[in-house]
Amino acid sequence: AYSPDGKEVAYLEERTTLKVLNLASKQTRTVMPGDRNYSYADGDQSYAWSPDSKWFAVNFLHPEQWIGQVGLVKATGMEPIIDLTRSGYGGYGPRWAMDGNAVVYVSDRDGMKNHASWGSQGDAYAIFLTNEAYDTFKLNKEEAALAKEDEEKNEEDKDEKEEEKAKGKKKEEEKDKPVEPLKIDLDGITERRVRLTPNSSDLSGAVLSKDGEKVWYLAAFEKGTDLWQYEVRSRETKILHKMGDGWAGGLMLDKEGKKLFYMGDGGISYYDTEKSENKSVGINGEMVLNEGAERAYLYEHIWRQVKKKFYREDLQGVDWDKYKAEYQRFLPYINNNHDMAELCSELLGELNASHTGAGYGGDEVQNADATAYLGLLYALEPGPGLRIAEVLPNGPATKDGSRIKAGHVIERIDGEVVAADVDPARYFNRKAGRYMLLDLLDPKTNTRWTQTVKPITSWEENQLLYKRWVEKCRHLVDSLSGGKLGYVHVRGMNDHSFRVVYEEALGRYHDREGLVVDTRFNGGGWLHDDLATFLNGKTYMRMEPRGQKLGTEPQFKWQKPSVVVMSEGNYSDAHMFPVTYRAMGIGKLVGMPVAGTGTAVWWEGLQNDMWFGIPQVGMIDNNGNYLENQQLEPDVKQALDPGAVSTGRDQQLEEAVKVLMQ
């Protein structure tokens, strides 16, 4: 970024080191060292020149704390960072406003947060650098009008005096006024913070008008992001432009302070605040794409990204240069991105780490084969017809008026006989969401009838199967424990799964003596601390008005014993959670060993619709060892025997109940 005076250029070296190049001397200097930030995803760093080219507004980190702060740093690089926010909530995306009298940023300090560590609402804030600017901003509508009148009168008097001095003198050529150096009053600066947005929201950008009287921001309250305006003096809010269902961001105010540019509406657009109209910025261009050359570049890019961002600088001892050459020789023979993704997956696999691999999401096949489902499980019989072994609850076949029961036989589908020598999937191809006519037989009564059913997708039936499995596990734990224990399954390490655990544990199972926490087949996310903290409630107080026992504190945590069930299918944060559970001494782990995959990943998308993963943030236990490639052993090892599983037994749950009942 060029400095406003045009004399210097600021840039990032190795993603996080803020440097400045002086265009006259060609000398560079470091303004902020790289260890004051961490770049998780490319393009996630924020800095901005001050109007007088003497300062930067920056995002930075305190040592050993991954919470973004907003600060000021002298462009000389000779002075320490001034922390403006000093907040555990953090702040992001600082920008200068009101000709350098304020710094605007975004934070979730006042917004509602998800129940677990997955997102929150944001607001825009301003920190005023002088008491004068702060006092002016805080004026009400009437006070601001009087202040404006006084200012205009003073300007008129000043102009008259200058005209008097200029009488009889040759008028000099007008020159641009030099930018006045910023005035920064650090005393009490953190008390001059103001919340700019009237409501917390899914905020994706905010700017303050040059006079500080309007806040323009991009926020999603309904279906998508809209452009809003808030009048500071009158406290009136309105939508300037409604965009529909999509996302918008990158809000910027032009130099004159009249046009708002943003990314949205399918491209680059701007809103003219004077004319109250929204327009798209037309972009039209062509390029000749050399796909082979592009793949060669992307291969180099992936290799370089891993070298720079892998969680260990030594890449776990892998000779990365050697493997680059080994796989690079196949590039000339690759003519499609599916094979390209496979090649890159093979390369990344040499790292012997989790969260690697590459894929390709393009070339979607239109009207591709897709089997629909009726929410029915069928008996393993040769046919003809499909004998129903089980009807899944809440599936298509359980709608009001349906006569379909287990034991019935589907003889025809849309008039076609269900033959013994035909794959039944053929009858359901591309039928999801479209009514089908079934001819059915009840063998017990020899009754035949027809019924229409609307099939669902494979994903929808999988949800029914999952609920069926959870219900079976719940019933098993209940019966094995004689109604003394509760059961919850943590499907993913996310907010929704946490809410299920919270609801079930403190609701359905509030009076149970213990809780079986099943984490099998959990693919991860980020929930380990929230979940472990919830299960680690320690009673410290009772609530009792006039002898009525209302409960104990902490009432919103599980205060009784628990046990965690884990398996070979646990991955990523579903590895980190049982590690956390054990480290906090909450209870025992039952099941099978979990592979060491507890590392934070960045999945980078590429311009050709490919993606690849880099495990970037290593997690280290209290013994100083990385969780990556460190297998987690259960306290009680219990495998699942296929023969027992086929009869409906779950030996891991059986063992978990036994351990918790001891």
Band the pLDDT of 171: cuts 50, 70, 90.
Answer: very low
Question: Using one digit for the tens of pLDDT, what is the confidence trace for 156-170?
Answer: 666 666 666 665 454
Beta partners for residue 18, in sequence order:
12, 32
**What mean pLDDT comes out for the span 232-249?**
90
**What mean pLDDT comes out for the span 415-420?**
96
Instruction: Give me the pLDDT at residue 221, please.
Output: 87
Half-sphere exposure of 596 (CA within 13 A, CB side): 15
* Residue found by looking up tokens 């200029």 in the block: 166
Question: Using one digit for the tens of pLDDT, what is the confidence trace for 370-408?
Answer: 999 999 999 999 879 999 999 999 999 999 999 999 999
Instruction: Give me the pLDDT at residue 476, please.
Output: 98
Token pair for 391 = 């009807």
Instruction: Give me the pLDDT at residue 160, please.
Output: 61
Burial class (CB in 10 A: 0-12, 13-18, 19+), 266: exposed
Question: Using one digit for the tens of pLDDT, what is the confidence trace for 246-274?
Answer: 889 999 999 999 999 999 877 899 999 99
Residue 332 C-alpha from the chain's centroid: 37
Question: Using one digit for the tens of pLDDT, what is the confidence trace for 43-83?
Answer: 999 999 999 999 999 999 999 999 999 999 999 999 999 99
Task: Record the pTM.
Answer: 0.91
Q: Is the pLDDT of residue 178 over 90?
A: no
Instruction: Give me the pLDDT at residue 519, please.
Output: 99
Share of the chain above pLDDT 90, in %: 88
Q: Is the pLDDT of residue 524 over 80?
A: yes
Residues 95 and 161: beta-carbon distance below 8 Å: no
> 152 Cβ partners below 8 Å, 6+ apart?
none
- Quote the CA–CA distance of 426 and 446 in Å, as a whole number: 27
Set out the domains of the chain in order of their start, with CATH numbers. 8-139+181-280 (2.130.10.10), 291-360 (3.30.750), 376-456 (2.30.42.10), 464-595+631-661 (3.90.226.10)
- Going by C-alpha positions, the residue among 270, 302, 300, 296 that lies closest to residue 283 is 270
Q: Is the pLDDT of residue 174 over 50?
A: no
Beta partners for residue 378, in sequence order:
388
Instruction: Give me the pLDDT at residue 116, please.
Output: 82
Q: Is the pLDDT of residue 525 over 80?
A: yes
Q: Is the pLDDT of residue 172 over 60?
A: no
- Quote the CA–CA distance of 304 and 328 in Å, as a whole number: 13
Question: Using one digit for the tens of pLDDT, what is the confidence trace for 88-102?
Answer: 998 999 999 999 999
- 507: DSSP letter: I
- Going by C-alpha positions, the residue among 285, 130, 282 that lies closest to residue 212 is 130
**What mean pLDDT comes out for the span 116-132?**
92
Burial class (CB in 10 A: 0-12, 13-18, 19+), 13: exposed
Q: Is the pLDDT of residue 173 over 60?
A: no
Find the helix packing angle between 573-583 and 528-535, rounded to 10°.
Answer: 30
Find the helix packing angle between 337-349 and 320-328, rounded to 10°.
Answer: 150
Q: Evaluate the CA torsion angle 306, 307, 313, 316 in order and state its sign.
A: positive
Share of the chain above pLDDT 70, in %: 97
Residues 659 and 590: beta-carbon distance below 8 Å: yes
**What mean pLDDT comes out for the span 127-146?**
92
The chain-wide mean pLDDT, for the chain, equals 94
Question: Using one digit for the tens of pLDDT, what is the confidence trace for 449-481?
Answer: 999 999 999 999 999 999 999 999 999 999 999
